[in-house]
Amino acid sequence: MSDSFANAALAERQALRARLRAAGQTFVADADFASRQSALAGHLMSVIEQLCPDRLGVYWAVQSEFDAAAWCVRDSSLEDMPLALPFSFRDSVRMDYRHWNRLPPPLRDECGIAACEGPVVVPDVVLVPCLGYTASGLRLGHGGGYFDRWLAAHPHVTAVGVGWSVCELKDAELRPQPHDMAMACVVNEHGVR
Amino acid sequence: MSDMFSREPTDEERAALRAKLLAARQALPDRLERAVELQNVLRVWLVSRKETAIGGYWPIKGEFDPLPALYRWSEAADERRIGLPVADRIARTLKFHVWFPGCPMEPDAYDIPKPKDTAVFEPQMVLLPCIGYGPEGVRMGYGGGFYDRTVAALKPRPYVVGLSYSNGFLPMLRARSPDELVLDALLTDDGVVWQR
């Protein structure tokens, strides 16, 4: 009985993910995308400035995600900011951050995402890509649980969600799970949610 | 003493408790580390707030200093302004004057430094120091009622945020009257411990 409930919930989440992926792709294909992208970048840089991290964890964008790594490398206000990129391990599902020297990533992690070779570090502020999110800071990822696990193991780190406005959900739509923890804030192209 | 935590304290007990908490705060061996933590908590919390005018305070008697986080917040957008309270000894209320680092200061009626000749503004949010705090935003201040009167007079009512070190928690502290100022949020070195 409880199994069928769990399966139904899982199927519902997968359907939600598919819907959000489609919404993200339509959004990225829109003619206004360039201006929306730079709008999000502007809000995000302002948030980073207010948080003044010692080290910022960025991410390598996949699919229709905001390209945080590229914008952070390009931004002159972050010139001296030490950066880090995630590296995901598939065998024992886990993720580390590695110091990133800002050069094009030379390798891929076990999920096939561009990654780097630097030593393992713990950033104090991390940008987290959101397939979906709520205004209260809850997040729906791709389902791998990599960020969830890393954040749960590093509760003092400030997580800043990054997503497009079309990916914002109501709490009832997201149906938070017991392990879901709210991020400090979420930034979309209109500003801080 | 143990009795004080199983029921609401009397006025005399409140005064004694206040003195004890003040002494404890000033003697906190890890006050600096707690201040760093609370600075982070405040800085992160402010990022998602929509207000553009915030009244802070000048720390006295071992209070947490909110001004570094507040100034950092104010730098991020031109329309953001921050300021400090100036006590009116007659009306026993506070007015908020714009403040910036390096701003010329002079002692106010209670010998607390206040900005000299800067503009007065109405804050949309007020940060205030708490000597102690109870559940659900109940606050123990210095007992002068300045913030109670000031917040009650401001229209619209500003969002009221208490700042305290976590050792100020008093589980049995309750509001004494419906008019007493109750916090909308309370931040400590442990994080956001209460938000309406």
A73-103 pLDDT per residue, tens: 999 999 999 999 999 999 889 999 999 999 9
Do residues B86 and B94 make contact, with C-beta atoms less than 8 angstroms apart? yes
User: Are the beta carbons of A50 and B72 separated by less than 8 Å?
Assistant: yes
Q: Which of A46, A50, A192 sits opposite B43 (nearest CB)?
A: A50
Quote the CA–CA distance of A151 and A49 in Å, as a whole number. Answer: 21
pLDDT of residue A102: 95
pLDDT of residue B1: 47
Kindly state the DSSP code that residue B10 receives in the 8-state scheme.
P
Per-residue pLDDT tens digits for B75-109: 999 999 999 999 988 889 999 999 999 999 999 88
User: Are the beta carbons of B46 and A192 separated by less than 8 Å?
Assistant: no
Per-residue pLDDT tens digits for B139-192: 998 888 999 999 999 999 999 999 999 999 999 888 888 888 999 999 999 999
User: Are the beta carbons of B48 and A185 separated by less than 8 Å?
Assistant: yes
Total number of domains constituting chain A: 1
pLDDT of residue B5: 57
pLDDT of residue A86: 97
In chain A, what residues touch B41 (CB-CB under 8 Å)? none
Q: What residues of chain A score a pLDDT lower than 70?
A: 1-2
Residue B57 has pLDDT above 60, yes or no: yes
- Contacts of A153 by beta carbon, 8 Å cutoff, 6+ apart: none
User: Are the beta carbons of B73 and A50 separated by less than 8 Å?
Assistant: yes
Distance from CA of residue A155 to its chain's centroid? 16
Total number of domains constituting chain B: 1
In this prediction, the answer to ipTM > 0.95 reads no
Owning domain of residue B64: 2-195
Which helix (H) or strand (E) is B156 found in, with range? Answer: none
User: Are the beta carbons of B76 and A192 separated by less than 8 Å?
Assistant: no
In chain B, what residues touch A44 (CB-CB under 8 Å)? none
Q: What CATH number does residue B85 fall under?
A: 3.40.50.10420
The shortest C-alpha distance from A193 to chain B (Å) reads 7
Owning domain of residue A173: 2-192
Q: What CATH number does residue A89 fall under?
A: 3.40.50.10420
